[in-house]
């Protein structure tokens, strides 16, 4: 089992880690692949058609580990138009309370990140972002957020690589200043 000790290997950590939802934390679009209401049976979530709702295998471990660290805030950003479905799914998965900041609405992810910055006071350079869409990575990186493309769902290896890069980027910044 991965624990908070995983994070102690890094001398510099982001203050806020933000995850997209669809095809980043779960392998579906919540506006077309699942139908509320959701029910939980034996630690498994099902939609109204009794279809099991899966998440990527490392997603829960990653979210809980980050939340337990108490050093890092968690956010989710989704451009879905199925706002209530996304929120209901987060609730059914028992993930709602894990996120310190939740921005779920259509439009540019830039608006989501401006809101994160406004609410948290955290500089963009102290944020880390995971998303499966190149356009979102492109837009958010312009703000100074370190972004990582998620091609097959979030994994511990991807998180580890991103944290290494974040740490190295901080060392370069310190050297230049």
Structure token pair of residue 132: 């499966």
Question: 109 in helix, strand or coil?
Answer: helix
Respond yes or no: is residue 20 known to be catalytic. Answer: yes
Identified catalytic residue from 5, 20, 97, 161: 20
C-beta atoms surrounding 58 within 10 Å: 18
The percent helix, strand, coil of the chain (3-state, each to 5) is 40, 20, 40
- Greatest C-alpha distance within the chain: 57
Identified catalytic residue from 5, 22, 54, 132: 22
Respond yes or no: is residue 123 known to be catalytic. Answer: no
**Integer Cα distance of 54 and 46 in angstroms:** 9
Cite the active site residues: 20, 22
């Amino acid at each position: 089992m991965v624990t908070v000790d995983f994070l102690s290997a890094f001398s510099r950590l982001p203050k806020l880690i933000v995850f997209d939802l669809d095809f980043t934390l779960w392998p579906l679009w919540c506006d077309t692949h699942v139908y509320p209401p959701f029910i939980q049976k034996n630690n498994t979530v099902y939609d109204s058609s009794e279809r099991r709702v899966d998440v990527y295998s490392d997603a829960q471990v990653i979210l809980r580990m980050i939340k337990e660290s108490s050093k890092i805030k968690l956010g989710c950003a989704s451009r879905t138009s199925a706002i209530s479905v996304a929120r209901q799914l987060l609730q059914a998965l028992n993930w709602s309370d894990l996120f310190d900041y939740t921005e779920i609405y259509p439009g540019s992810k830039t608006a989501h990140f401006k809101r994160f910055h406004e609410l948290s006071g955290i500089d963009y350079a102290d944020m880390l972002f995971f998303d499966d869409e190149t356009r979102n990575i492109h837009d958010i990186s312009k703000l100074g957020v370190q972004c990582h493309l998620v091609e097959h769902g979030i994994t511990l290896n991807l998180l580890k690589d991103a944290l290494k890069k974040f740490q190295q980027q901080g060392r370069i910044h310190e050297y230049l200043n």
